[in-house]
Structure 1
Amino acid sequence: MNFRDLHIAEDLASSLAKSGIEEPTAIQRAAIPHVLEGRDVIIRSHTGTGKTLAYLLPILQRIDPEQRDVQAVVIAPTQELAMQIVRIAQELGAPRGLHALGLIGGASLKRQIERLKDKPQLVVGTPGRLVELLEMRRLKLHQTKAIVTDEVDQVFRLGDRSAVERIFKGALRDRQLIFVSATVPAAMQEVIERWMNEPLYIDEAGEQRTAASLEHVYFVCEPRERIDLLIRLVKHYKPRAALVFINHTDEIAEVTEKLRFHKIEAAALYGDQPKMERSSVLDRLRLGNLQVLVATDLAARGLDLPDLSHVFSLHPAPDEDHYVHRAGRTGRMGRRGTVVSIVTAKELFIMKKFAKQLAIDIQQKELYFGRIVDPEKKELMRSTNLRKEAVRATSVKNKTKNKKKRKADTKDKGMPRWLKAKIHNQE
């Protein structure tokens, strides 16, 4: 099956083919026809499966290039995700004469107001900035027919529910609503019932909510050994690009500095970092000038880093949804990836809980003499090494004893028999 079979227009399909995308993923095959119909839909699939194109392609196709009004809005929780969506929309929509605009916090408000005068048909933005422009009457949604909330669970978790609902109210009453995420918590049900019209659930995640191409492992250590173990693991795995998740913002600087002290190219990513500084850090990672990015869940939300091979959690994720989103930073579009958690003995139950809730295999591993091994194998290797040490010690002892004996024999050589007998009787 190709995109034309899903009734995607020839020009859009050709633009995708130029980027090397010719066959739709499972979630795209399932979602595109219903989004084209104008249905309210909830798209749930693990990160890296192509959810963005699953809603963006049909929305771009439904936009009338002759109508110079905002016809569609995409709400994203972070600046990076919003701008990533804008780039894709501009690339695909430009040949059809469509104008997409990013409206994000941290960027110049005055400049965004000026660019709104160009009459974009699609705007992508963070909730706060979109509402700010609505209240200033610079952004008008009276012709908006579709609203997408990407990473919907995170948007509402960040406390932006009132802002998002303000955007819903500003659009047409019969507008199409699309919720997209790797996880849709039960707490979202109230929002779904209030705002969506007979929504269709499209769920390609199944029982396994993380990519099948991922390896999930965890290592146990004492609390004070976490950072040292992290350093050893990074040096062992040697990832081209890795993301280290920190649960508490005030630990980011310490972890970053210790990684640097051990000759690991690392940088910190904060949620409130200036836009240019964040962009610079991410560009360094993409270009291979940075090996490790240290961030919180909030700061790393929505990052698009295709070459990310490893995800490390200095502390276990707060819950299974956070674990899913952390894991989703790697193993994108079928690539292999490794998800590593560092836990204490008291936190072992958390990994077992995640394994059960997410229906995945999370294996305990040990770092022993430069090798990643199972705990049982480590004990076997340790026993084997102890036996080797014992044999080696016995061998050295016997060699020393034999050496002394040979020395004594040499010393006694040539001694008269009567003197040897006298010495023997005295002993």
Structure 2
Amino acid sequence: MDFVKQLPEGWQKQWQTSGFDEPSAIQEQSFLPLSEGKNVRGISPTGTGKTLAYLLPLLLNVKKQEGSQLLILAPSQELAMQIGQVAQEWGKVLELKSQTLIGGANVKRQIEKLKKKPEILIGTPGRILELIRSKKIKSHQLKTIVMDEADLLLQKSELDLTRQILQSAPVDYQLVFYSATADTIENEVNELADDVLTVDAVKEDQSAGKIQHFYIDVPFRKRKDFLQKMLHIPSFYGMVFFNQLADLGAIEEKLSYEALPVVGLASDQNKQMRKLAISQFSQKRAKMLLTTDVGARGLDFPAIDFVVNVDVPQDSVSYAHRAGRTGRMGAEGAVITFINDRTKRDFQRLMKDAGQTAEELFIYDAGFHKERKEADRKNSGKERKGK
């Protein structure tokens, strides 16, 4: 079934003008059960179009001017804003209104906009619950609740907020869970909803592009220098991930001081600073976006060629979501991880858990190379002989 042919004519035109080709497996498999109002747990690799997979069939079930019927929960402000943009773009063709509700934004303005009765709400759990408690969101009108990046929304730190939102909703509503790693939350999903249909497109979805995995041996104190070398490679455009916020801030400050094209996206920034960083990077005014795992979920920048892990990620799930920022919807990409003598074993264990193999990479002559520079090879040989 090619679900695109079943879409409204305006959407079919938008599909073509957006440059989409064949729908991905998760999009094809999600359309019918979501259209029929079933509870669905969708699992698919990052970069395979999960947002449209649930959004298009659910928007078709929303009725104009009948209050807020569709609620989409997201674990971060960035993801909520991105989903909000997509919902607005596709919803306006059907004359549907949407509103994004996130913490850090002016709550009074949000309340004023809610008076226009948007049919679609997108937001972070804290702000959504705040507005429900103050009766600004009429939760009894909700017909469908979606959890995007459900594995994060059902973690212990967020689960209580999520439960309270669901308890405020009517007795009979559709519950939808989507994530690249939703298979890790089966118990929580079954606790919250009955008769959940699992749509698992991990094995058959071929829409993600080819991603190559590399590592570079980088002494801990040389990390900033190697990032600087990458910025001088003409083809470089990518996201750089840190495990610690303090390390991100220190290196961003040094690179910015040298007037290099970098921006930072961090959890301690206000909404305006985050929005500015995303805008500058998406418009390619900056070649490098420095972030933590806050930027590993949901953010969809077109044509990111490189993902760089300055630190070895904590686990294979974190690695997978970071890697998912590149190689999206058929494009190719590369993931490069900095390692040193202390983290080499951690990296080897991580790659085994992730089911990946990585090649060593070198930087010289303003480019990436799979072989060591000849002069360095000779020097290395002399050092070995000297020993």
TM-score (norm 1): 0.82
- Percent of aligned pairs with the same amino acid: 34
Relative to structure 1, is the Cα distance of residues 25 and 180 closer, same or farther in structure 2, using a 3 angstrom cutoff? same
User: Contact conserved, 1:12 with 1:57, CA < 8 A, in 2?
Assistant: no
For residues 316-337 of structure 1, what are the alpha-carbon distances to aligned partners after superposition, in whole Å with 9 as ceiling and x for unaligned? Answer: 1111111111111122211121
Determine helix, strand or coil for the equivalent of 1:345.
coil
Q: Distance in 1 between matches of 2:276 and 2:26?
A: 32
Q: 1:194 and 2:194 equivalent?
A: no
Determine helix, strand or coil for the equivalent of 2:232.
helix
Q: Distance in 2 between matches of 1:340 and 1:257?
A: 22
**Corresponding residue number in structure 1 for 2:154:** 156
Q: Distance in 2 between matches of 1:357 and 1:209?
A: 21
1:110 to partner: Cα distance: 0.7
1:24 to partner: Cα distance: 1.2
For residues 151-203 of structure 1, what are the alpha-carbon distances to aligned partners after superposition, in whole Å with 9 as ceiling and x for unaligned? Answer: 112233482211111111122222111111111263x2331121122222222
**Corresponding residue number in structure 2 for 1:44:** 43
User: Contact conserved, 1:44 with 1:203, CA < 8 A, in 2?
Assistant: yes
Unpaired segments ≥5 residues, structure 1: 389-427
1:261 to partner: Cα distance: 4.8
> Out of 312, 319, 341, which is 2:315 matched to?
319
**Corresponding residue number in structure 2 for 1:177:** 175
> What is the identity, as a one-letter code, of the residue corresponding to 1:204?
A
**Corresponding residue number in structure 2 for 1:78:** 76
Matches within 5 A, 1:210-249: 211-236=208-233, 238-239=235-236, 241-249=237-245
> What is the identity, as a one-letter code, of the residue corresponding to 2:110?
Q
Count residues in correspondence. Answer: 382
Relative to structure 1, is the Cα distance of residues 146 and 382 closer, same or farther in structure 2, using a 3 angstrom cutoff? same
TM-score (norm 2): 0.90
> Out of 246, 251, 264, which is 1:255 matched to?
251
For residues 116-139 of structure 1, what are the alpha-carbon distances to aligned partners after superposition, in whole Å with 9 as ceiling and x for unaligned? Answer: 111111100011000000110111
Relative to structure 1, is the Cα distance of residues 208 and 326 closer, same or farther in structure 2, using a 3 angstrom cutoff? farther
Relative to structure 1, is the Cα distance of residues 118 and 100 closer, same or farther in structure 2, using a 3 angstrom cutoff? same
> What is the identity, as a one-letter code, of the residue corresponding to 2:174?
Q
Relative to structure 1, is the Cα distance of residues 171 and 339 closer, same or farther in structure 2, using a 3 angstrom cutoff? same
Unpaired segments ≥5 residues, structure 2: 383-387
User: Contact conserved, 1:208 with 1:358, CA < 8 A, in 2?
Assistant: no
Matches within 5 A, 1:116-131: 116-131=114-129
Determine helix, strand or coil for the equivalent of 2:42.
strand
**Corresponding residue number in structure 1 for 2:3:** 3
**Corresponding residue number in structure 2 for 1:401:** none
Determine helix, strand or coil for the equivalent of 1:128.
helix
Relative to structure 1, is the Cα distance of residues 387 and 41 closer, same or farther in structure 2, using a 3 angstrom cutoff? closer
**Corresponding residue number in structure 1 for 2:93:** 95
Matches within 5 A, 1:23-422: 23-66=22-65, 68-157=66-155, 159-184=157-182, 186=184, 188-206=185-203, 211-236=208-233, 238-239=235-236, 241-261=237-257, 263-299=259-295, 301-367=297-363, 372-374=368-370, 377-378=371-372
Determine helix, strand or coil for the equivalent of 2:216.
strand
Determine helix, strand or coil for the equivalent of 1:29.
helix
Q: Distance in 2 between matches of 1:147 and 1:380?
A: 59
**Corresponding residue number in structure 2 for 1:16:** 15
User: Contact conserved, 1:209 with 1:358, CA < 8 A, in 2?
Assistant: no
> What is the identity, as a one-letter code, of the residue corresponding to 2:288?
V
Q: Distance in 1 between matches of 2:337 and 2:220?
A: 13
User: Contact conserved, 1:50 with 1:333, CA < 8 A, in 2?
Assistant: yes
Q: Distance in 1 between matches of 2:100 and 2:160?
A: 21
Relative to structure 1, is the Cα distance of residues 356 and 299 closer, same or farther in structure 2, using a 3 angstrom cutoff? closer
Determine helix, strand or coil for the equivalent of 1:306.
coil
1:218 to partner: Cα distance: 0.8
1:237 to partner: Cα distance: 6.4
User: Contact conserved, 1:242 with 1:309, CA < 8 A, in 2?
Assistant: yes
**Corresponding residue number in structure 2 for 1:407:** none
Q: Distance in 1 between matches of 2:206 and 2:245?
A: 27
Q: Distance in 2 between matches of 1:368 and 1:4?
A: 47
Q: Distance in 1 between matches of 2:92 and 2:380?
A: 69
Q: Distance in 1 between matches of 2:153 and 2:27?
A: 22
Relative to structure 1, is the Cα distance of residues 35 and 315 closer, same or farther in structure 2, using a 3 angstrom cutoff? same
Determine helix, strand or coil for the equivalent of 1:49.
coil
Larger relative helix fraction: 1
1:235 to partner: Cα distance: 2.9
User: Contact conserved, 1:45 with 1:204, CA < 8 A, in 2?
Assistant: yes
Relative to structure 1, is the Cα distance of residues 372 and 111 closer, same or farther in structure 2, using a 3 angstrom cutoff? closer
Q: Distance in 2 between matches of 1:158 and 1:267?
A: 31
